[in-house]
Amino acid sequence: MDHPKRILIIYTGGTIGMQQTPEGLAPAADLAADIRHMPELGQAFQTHPPVIETLSYDPLLDSSDMTPGHWVRIASDILQRYQRFDGFVVLHGTDTLAYTASALSFFLERSDKPVVITGAQLPYAYPRSDARNNLISALEVAANMPEAMTQVCVVFGSRILRGNRATKVSAKAYDAFDSPRYPHLGAIGIDVEYNRRRRFPLAFGNFTKHGQLPPDDAVALVRLFPGFSAETLRAVCSSSQLRGIVLEAYGAGNGPSKNQAFQDAIRDAVRNGIVVVVVSQPLDGIVRMSSYAAGSALARAGAISGRDLTTEAAVAKLYYLIALGYSADMIAKKIKTPIAGEMRR
Ligand code: ASP
């Protein structure tokens, strides 16, 4: 008989375990203790229920308070306990869950064990809450994901998504996440069905050997809009710690090509060693900077195509590459190279 799977649940906070306070919903500590006594767990895993251990963070966080330091803490907690468990479930607030999912895919080494991130739209003690379903589905995937597919993934509502392709698409629906630029890894209905063509043969980086997380202000995110000024960009670039900018451009990666001051500001940023990565604003957009003159102008100024990277993955990947100690040239090169299934070749 197979030995029961050992799963570690890391409870970081988020709506899933929140309770009402005079200031509004805030994280509560009871969830971790309650999980082990959930009757549904026994029923969901009649044959081989997993052996579950929990690790609760103190303080528990609304994920809007998370920083890159928290990503690394979660990654380190997993790595430290890696040998003792068969899979990992991270309970997380939905607001920045896609950033953490992306970051874990980079900061963890290539893993032959599933790392599943989930949360909920309603606290677990609320009627019609999605918390129990999401938790049980996450445990199921952490225990039984096919070996060839093991990777960092988001399990939420009816979807299993690659972690670094996921983005939050709804503040209300139970299917709060989607991966509009990449097929789903699987679907959760009566059965848990895997899209077995989504194997995961890619090599991970190795944060444990090289990583030194840069200060938070090493990375900035800028979204273009009609009227966005060169002065605003120069103000962003004036931070002495800045090493990379994710530039959310229009459609296929276009920007204001007739605004010379804007082009100059990009060129100066790049000359000063700042890597400018262009991602697309539409949810299903893919950057092809040569499609339009307006995109070519950004490329000529030195900006780099992030192709189909999500904004979240672009931000996390920049932190990761900076943490590895790479030069601007090397970061620019590595940004274009898939390292954890985050972008097409
Ligand atoms: N503000 C919450 C959080 O991200 C929202 C949620 O969990 O749904 O922690």
Instruction: Report how far ligand 1's centroid is from the alpha carbon of 219 (Å).
Output: 23
What's the distance, CA 166 to chain centroid?
A: 7
Side chain identity at residue 125, one-letter code: A
Beta bridge partners, 304, equal 277
Percent of the chain topping pLDDT 70: 94
CA 120 to chain CA centroid, nearest Å: 16
CB 198 within 8 A of CB 190: no
Specify the DSSP class assigned to residue 20.
E
* Domains detected in the chain: 6-194 (3.40.50.1170), 207-334 (3.40.50.40)
For residue range 289-323, list pLDDT tens digits in order: 988 888 788 999 999 999 999 999 999 999 999 99
pLDDT tens per residue, range 67-106: 999 999 999 999 999 999 999 999 999 999 999 999 999 9
CA-nearest residue for atom 8, ligand 1, is: 94
Catalytic center residues: 15
Q: What's phi and psi for 185, nearest 5 deg?
A: -80, -20
Strands 18-21 vs 24-27: parallel, antiparallel or unpaired: antiparallel
Q: Which two tokens stand for residue 240?
A: 């002495």
94 CB within 6 A, ligand 1: yes
| Cβ proximity of 299 and 289 under 8 Å | yes
Ligand 1 centroid to residue 312 C-alpha, Å: 16
Q: Ligand 1 pocket check: which of 15, 67, 91, 122 to mutate, most ligand atoms within 8 Å of Cβ?
A: 15
Which among 120, 149, 108 has a CA at the least distance from the CA of 18? 120
Say yes or no: CB of residue 93 within 6 Å of ligand 1: yes
Q: Per-residue confidence at 274, pLDDT binned at 50, 70, 90?
A: very high
**Residue range 205-219: mean pLDDT, rounded:** 75
Structure tokens at 124: 């677990």
Mean pLDDT of 312-335: 96
- Tell me which DSSP letter residue 2 carries: P
pLDDT attached to residue 202: 53
Return the closest-CA partner of residue 64 out of 19, 121, 18, 14: 14
Q: Per-residue pLDDT averaged across 20-37, rounded? A: 83
- Is 162 or 148 the better-scoring residue by pLDDT? 162
Map residue 222 onto helix, strand or coil: strand
**Ligand 1 centroid distance, CA of 95 (Å):** 5
Given a contact cutoff of 8 angstroms between Cβ atoms, the answer to whether 151 and 105 are in contact is yes
How much distance in Å is there from the Cα of 295 to the middle of ligand 1?
Answer: 35
Q: What is the pTM of this model?
A: 0.95
205 pLDDT more than 70: no
Q: Which residues of 146-172 are buried (b: 16+ CB within 10 A; e: fewer)?
A: eeebbbbbbbbbebbbbbbbbbbeeee
Q: Euclidean distance between the first and final Cα of the chain, in Å? A: 41
The pairing of beta strand 219-223 with beta strand 6-13: unpaired
Asked if residue 15 has its Cβ within 6 Å of ligand 1, the reply is: yes
Size (the chain), residues: 345
pLDDT band at 1 (very low <50, low <70, confident <90, very high): low
CA separation for the pair 153, 111 (Å, rounded):
12
CB-ligand 1 contact for 263 (6 Å cutoff): no
Ligand 1 contacts CB of residue 134 (under 6 A): no
Name which residue leads in pLDDT, 302 or 207.
Answer: 302
What local confidence, expressed as pLDDT, does residue 200 receive?
A: 67
- Phi and psi torsions of 46, nearest 5°: -65, -40
- What is the chain's mean pLDDT, rounded? 91
Is there a contact between 242 and 234 (Cβ–Cβ < 8 Å)? Answer: no
Which phi and psi angles does 186 have, rounded to 5°?
Answer: 180, 175
In eight-state DSSP terms, residue 339 is S
Residue 338 CB partners (closer than 8 Å, separation 6+): 202, 344, 345
Q: How far is CA 36 from CA 40, 77, 82, 279, in A?
A: 10, 20, 21, 42
Q: What is the pLDDT of residue 42?
A: 67
- Please compute Rg for the chain using Cα positions: 21
Atom of ligand 1 nearest to the CA of 14: 9
CA-wise closest residue to 38 among 132, 105, 139: 132
Residue nearest to atom 7 of ligand 1 (CA): 93
Asked whether the beta carbons of 247 and 311 are under 8 A apart, the reply is no
